[in-house]
Amino acid sequence: MEACQKGDAEAVSHLLRTGRGCSASQQDPHYRNGSSPLIEAARTGSLETCRILLEHGAPWNAIDKDGKCAGNYASDLGHQSLVNYLVDVAVTAELLLGASIRTEMSTTYTSKEATKPIVDIGTGSRCGGPVEHEPCTKSDFLSRDVCYVDGDKLLDGDGDAVMMEWERPLMRAHASVIMGGSGTSATGKVSVMNVGFGMGIIDSILQEEQFSPALHVIVEAHPGVYAQMIKDGWDKKPNVRIVYGKCRFSSFCVLFTNMPRYYYGCVSLLACFYFLSKIF
């Protein structure tokens, strides 16, 4: 951590190569507000140190207790070339991770369909071939079942992931960025609209005390997801208004969505771009 705080790329590289109990992804919640090596290096603006850490497996989106990641600090401190570099890393990572998860899900669920289906995937058929060759929209998404599995994923009618629990840190980072850290503006508490409830991860985070918007509108188009929202009591929350239907533009302080290709897959790419564009 000390070498990262100095932006000493050579020392960081040496320590990571020789072991000595150092890991690029170490993060102690009690140390410097839960900071990470990448955050420390990003504060110094040392692109080389960040590059070495990322090459050794440092997560680009690790956040500290203020919900800030390396990109936030690089941006706050005006390290623009580092910001640009982190944007590239983040987008690439999201693309690769999304593609690999989609491929894995496709293999898993397709092979099990012949024996015992893990989920009720309704009728409809999936496309053959690599995921990259699949059409980027699922026009029948809304008319087919979705399925919440084990509390950590939401699958569509093809067994493709709509949302997964691993995206929580990314959602937390989004929340922090779009709500400006505290959820207040010069005129008081902000209002926020999230388009697409999914697993309600971003919405649960937005409901936390540090944000707690004056008005929190959630637009959701899928009947199965809407039913889950009602089951979970989202319609009873005092500052929440649910709009059951397809998204229409409205005038809010903050609009959040991560339903890119959504009808269509699991990558939070639009959210990623949105997040990055808000930071940078």
In the complex with ligand SAM, the residue whose CB is nearer, 73 or 211, is 211
220 counts as binding ligand SAM under rule CB under 6 A: yes
Question: What's the min distance (Å) between Cβ of 147 and ligand SAM?
Answer: 12
* CA–CA gap between residue 180 and residue 102 (Å, rounded): 32
Sheet holding 215-220, edge to edge: 240-244, 215-220, 191-195, 254-257
In the complex with ligand SAM, the residue whose CB is nearer, 23 or 210, is 210
Task: Choose which of 51, 68, 79, 222 interacts with ligand SAM (CB under 6 A).
Answer: 222
- Interaction mask 69-108, ligand SAM, x per CB under 6 A: ----------------------------------------
Task: Choose which of 202, 229, 254, 267 interacts with ligand SAM (CB under 6 A).
Answer: 202
Question: What's the min distance (Å) between Cβ of 16 and ligand SAM?
Answer: 33
Stretch that binds ligand SAM, among 14-22, 33-41, 108-116, 220-228 (CB under 6 A): 220-228
173 counts as binding ligand SAM under rule CB under 6 A: no
In the complex with ligand SAM, the residue whose CB is nearer, 47 or 218, is 218
Stretch that binds ligand SAM, among 33-41, 89-97, 109-117, 254-262 (CB under 6 A): 254-262
Task: Choose which of 22, 214, 247, 270 interacts with ligand SAM (CB under 6 A).
Answer: 247
Q: Write out the chain in H/E/C secondary structure.
A: CHHHHCCCHHHHHHHHHHCCCCCCCCCCCCCHHHCCHHHHHHHHCCHHHHHHHHHCCCCCCCCCCCCCCHHHHHHHCCCHHHHHHHHHHHHHHHHHHHHHHHHHHHHHHHHHHCCCCCCCCCCCCCCCCCHHHCCCCCCCHHHCCCEEECCCEEECCCCCEEEEHHHHHHHHHHHHHHCCCCCEECCEECEEEEECCCCCHHHHHHCCCCCCCCEEEEEECCHHHHHHHHHCCHHHCCCEEEEECCCCCCCCCEEEECCCCHHHCCCCHHHHHHHHHHHC
161 counts as binding ligand SAM under rule CB under 6 A: no
Two tokens, residue 144: 């087919």
Task: Choose which of 53, 62, 221, 229 interacts with ligand SAM (CB under 6 A).
Answer: 221
Stretch that binds ligand SAM, among 2-10, 55-63, 102-110, 221-229 (CB under 6 A): 221-229
Per CB under 6 A, residues contacting ligand SAM are 162-163, 171, 195-202, 219-222, 225, 246-247, 258-259, 262-263
